[in-house]
Structure 1
């Protein structure tokens, strides 16, 4: 990897990428009933578009997508990747293989010595070229992106020594010894991938990485403080989209100029309505007079009634929200109907096609 003119790492033309996008996204139901999590609209485009744009900006051109749930959706949208300046290939996982098993499942398509592997639901500002530079400088078998979090108790911890070498993989504990966690992005030497057992479930953190450590292999940690967010929950999904819209994490895939709101072509927002907080209003969506949309996503074709307040929510495609409604932290499925004067609080999820009658209904649970 040649250095750039300013001495920074150069383009990664001699590396390739694997993106794991096979999960069902159960924590994001009902949104993932109609699309895989990486294909959900995020700041105006499928979430995966932002990751692929970062991969391309680093100079990588060959990308393999490890798919499973609704696998056909990825190829239908991205095709062979040429429109995005990439060469995309797809491998379908017929049965769950866990993270390492899914990586091994695409090994036959890999070509380069170094392979970057991404979990397809992480939003990150990591400098990919610096990650690979750390990997090569340390002559590592695997390099892991590690991030420091305020409360590591909900994660497994990854301690490192003074040279940055990973020393252990620790399960969740109430008294974690370090605040570093696995951030879901790796650089593998290709022979390591080829040595993963084929055709069965294999966990990277419980089997592959501990096995490498036990064998004396060098696993390197790359710790940085860039933007990082696991997009697995509705609240995180909404936050990540808003951060992209506002430019807190710049993305070449953003279909517009960063700001308080992103209005897609055909969106119709009343002159006295307020849309802010990094909200996205989808194509053909309508926001009526005196409505307020804050930090939310309104998908294509949805309609928001007059004097309705939507804060930190996802409104599915074609949903109908009545007048005088208050929504906070809610997920409204495609085609659902919310009657006038309803109030849906944090955690409320309305499944596709469900109709909630008018009349001041107040709830914070699933409606199916």
Structure 2
């Protein structure tokens, strides 16, 4: 039986306020929780059994996915009560694996949107008789990532920290957050304490001359850890730039879910998703954005590259760029926010209180009683 571990324990602080009431992998992306796209990809790759390594709001995952039968596979859940790091989470989940010591186990980070072929990665791992196989991707600017140089045969040479100077950039290859482990390697990770695979497990394997393989491809890849990346990934799914079996509708300029209402003279484009019961009123323009359940964009408002929380209201004539508006929050009419805004759940921004400012550190005035409002 083909097995995989999903690492879904992160709190997603960079995505607040969206993650105040839901784990990061359960934030809606192109009409469904992001994790549904990952589960569907795993199933399409032949994975029959998944173990979810949860931590933050673990009941949310079980409530949505259940035993996995509706998604064509079997799901098990493990919850860590204290942060264990990537390696510790993998080791903690391993107690529910059923394969033998040489069985391949796919491990997937729960916040990576990728078009790589997981089944091909497993095949390459088997063919090379590798101990661990890593999916690597190339990035234009690798300074924000750890680097993973490989030799001509694909074997990983080193795991390097984030480069601090140009001379430190020896490759543009980075860890893409998808691995295949030999089961016995997982069992060798110390149990019951935090372990980083990047800083501890993988370097130790290289030091012991284990066979660590890196496979680089040009498939779509995006880390959804920031609001900007989240809306971009959602738009790319809707536009068909990356495929997902879980997309709940055809690709196109917009994805309108059940009960969504868009006025005839409104514009919804750029891969936007309009959630169940959400409304876009007359003359409004929504581009590259996500409107969650019951969100409202009033007449003449402009929403670009933003996430509008469930039940939130964007007032008439308001302009939002790169904003994150929490659930049930309200942005009054006539505001213009071109530098980005995070408005917490239930907060209220008064009408005509904010105009464009080139300085994203500018304070955001709001009505008394506002919970949190901050410029990005």
What TM-score do you get using the length of structure 2 for normalisation? Answer: 0.93
Residue 202 of structure 1 aligns with which residue? Answer: 195
User: Could you tell me which residue of structure 2 aligns to residue 94 of structure 1?
Assistant: 81
Are 1:144 and 2:141 counterparts?
Answer: no
Give 1:360 deviation, angstroms. Answer: 4.5
Structure 1 CA distance, aligned partners of 2:267 and 2:20?
30
Give the Cα–Cα distance (whole angstroms) in 2 for the partners of residues 254 and 200 of structure 1. 38
Select which of 176, 188, 198 maps to 2:181.
188
Contact 1:44 1:282 in 2 (8 A): yes
For the aligned residue pairs, the C-alpha RMSD in angstroms reads: 1.0
Equivalent residues of 1:125, 1:226 under 8 A apart: yes
Deviations 1:291-341 (A, max 9, x none): 000000011101111000000000000001110000000100001111110
Matching residue within 24, 28, 40 for 1:53: 40
Once the two structures are superposed, residues 276-295 of structure 1 have per-residue CA deviations (whole angstroms, 9 ceiling, x without a partner) of: 00000011111100000000
1:105-130 CA distances to partner (integer Å, 9 max, x unpaired)? 01111122110000100000001111
Q: Aligned residue for 1:284?
A: 277
Q: Are 2:231 and 1:244 equivalent residues in the alignment?
A: no
SS in 1 for 2:56: coil
- Aligned-pair distance for 1:15? 2.3
Aligned match of 1:295 in 288, 293, 302?
288
Deviations 1:62-99 (A, max 9, x none): 00000000000000010000011010000001100000
Partners of 2:161 and 2:2 in 1: CA distance: 31
Find the residue that maps to 2:67 and give its secondary structure: coil
Map of 2:113 onto structure 1: 123
- Is the 1:340–1:360 Cα contact (8 Å) retained in structure 2? no
Are 1:312 and 2:326 matched, yes or no? Answer: no
Residue 111 of structure 1: aligned partner: 98
Q: Do the aligned partners of 2:320 and 2:340 also contact (CA within 8 Å) in 1?
A: no
What is the number of equivalent residue pairs in this alignment? 355
In the aligned structure 2, how far is the partner of 1:347 from the partner of 1:121?
A: 22
Task: Quote the residue 1:75 is aligned against.
Answer: 62
Question: Could you list the per-position Cα deviations for residues 127-183 of structure 1 after superposition, in whole angstroms to 9, with x for gaps in the alignment?
Answer: 111111211111110000000111111111001111000010000113210000000
| Number of the residue aligned with 1:16 | 3
CA distance in 2, matches of 1:209, 1:37: 26
Taking the aligned partners of 1:194 and 1:83, their CA distance within structure 2 comes to 30
How many Å apart are 1:347 and its aligned residue? 3.1
- Counterpart of 1:133 in structure 2 is 123
| Secondary structure, counterpart of 1:105 in structure 2 | helix
- 1:168 and 2:158 correspond: yes
CA distance in 2, matches of 1:254, 1:346: 31
The runs of at least 4 aligned residues of structure 1 exceeding 3 Å deviation read 363-366
CA distance in 2 between partners of 1:117 and 1:133 (Å): 15
Q: Which runs of 5+ in 2 are unaligned?
A: 362-371
In structure 1, list runs of 5 or more residues that go unmatched.
Answer: 1-13
**SS state at 2:108 partner:** strand
